[in-house]
Structure formats: structure tokens, C-alpha cells
Amino acid sequence: MPDVTLSTPMLILSIVAGVCLAASAGFRVFVPMLVAALAARAGVLPLNNGLDWLSSDTAVAMLSIACIVEVAGFYVPWIDHALDTVAVPGAVVAGSLLATSQIGISNPSLAWVVGILAGGGSAGLIQLGTMFTRGVSLVTTGGIGNPIVATAETAMAFIASLLAIFVPILAVFVVIAGAIGLIAWRRRRAQNFVPRRALA
């Protein structure tokens, strides 16, 4: 039997922090990974389950470049759509890594299972939601509204990542509020959209 006490407050808090950090990857794949890597290097965020390599010089350098390219790419028309094709699997992988790095389960195999299911699943679901939101924005605004959506997503990824590290419980509400906000914006845009042919 795995040496796990799921009822302990610290274990629950580690899972909450891990899942919230993972969910942030649903808004931007590399932003929360870079934030986590820098926090780990600063000694603020411990990395569990053999994932210390995330705070290495090589990892930080590569994550920094990837973060800049990803954030900038979502401001370029059509490139943002191309990024969406790889963002979902990327978010699942990033979410799984981030969640597993925080979950305080002594059994590595179980920690990875929980990390993949909870972390990868939450990141993937949020990324799908943001992808649909950008799709609605593209159709209803001709892509003009996409930079606004991109800015909101990047801000959510950054803020939620910091909160997941320092105030995990608050991060839960911020991630949920952010997801609901994007859904509400998408629905409002879709409801107000009138095709040009209908106006002819």
C-alpha cells in the first residue's frame, strides 16, 4: 500500500496548489512553468517527485524563450490559430508536470497518476475553453478582438501562477472566475454577432 495520508491538511494543500498551478497552463503553457522554475530557483517553491530539473539553468533559459515566443505568437493573426493546434497537448503535458511537482505524495507512481489526471485534465479543459473563445473572437470580430483575449489569458496565467504558489486557496477562485469570465465573454459575443448576410 502506498504511504499516503490524503486527509492531512498539508497534502490537500499541496494538491490544491499543484492543480491550480497546472490549471494556469491552460491559459498559457509556458508562463506558469517559467514562474514555477524561477520560484524554485529562489527557494520559494519546492519541487517534488524528481522534477528538480525544472529549476536548472538550461530549463529556465529554454522556458524563457518558449514563453516569449508563445505570448508574442498569440498577438499575430493566424499564428495564434496555429499555436492552438499544439497548445492543448502542450497544456496537458505542462499541467501534469506542474501538478506532479507539487503533490506531496510519497509514492512517485501515485503522485504521477494524480498529477496527470488532475493537473493535465484541468489544464487541457481550460485550454480547450480558451481555444473556443479565440475562435468566437475570430468569427465575430474578424480577429480584431483576439489581442484582447490573448492579453486576458496571459494575465490570468501569470496571476493564477503566483497565487497558486503563495495563496493556493485564493488561486482556486481566481482560476474559476477567469474561466467563467472567458465563457461569458464568448457567449455574449456569439449572441450579439449578426452575419452580414442577415443584414442584407
Q: Give the total residue count for the chain.
A: 200
- If we measure between CA atoms, which residue out of 11, 17, 4 comes closest to residue 174? 17
Grid coordinates representing 91? 497544456
Sign of the C-alpha dihedral computed for residues 131, 30, 93 and 164 taken in this order: negative
Report the number of secondary-structure helices (H) and strands (E) in the chain. 9, 0
Tell me the per-residue pLDDT of 43-56, one tens digit each, with 9 for 90 and over. Answer: 999 998 889 999 99
Give Cα 140 to chain centroid, integer Å: 25
pTM of structure: 0.83
Tell me the per-residue pLDDT of 108-119, one tens digit each, with 9 for 90 and over. Answer: 899 999 999 999
Across 67-88, average pLDDT: 84
Across 131-157, average pLDDT: 81
pLDDT of residue 190: 67
Confidence of residue 25 (pLDDT cuts 50, 70, 90): very high
Judge whether residue 42 has pLDDT over 60.
yes
Do 111 and 101 touch, CB atoms closer than 8 A? no
Percent of the chain's residues with pLDDT above 70 = 89
Residue 35 has phi, psi (to 5 degrees) of: -60, -45
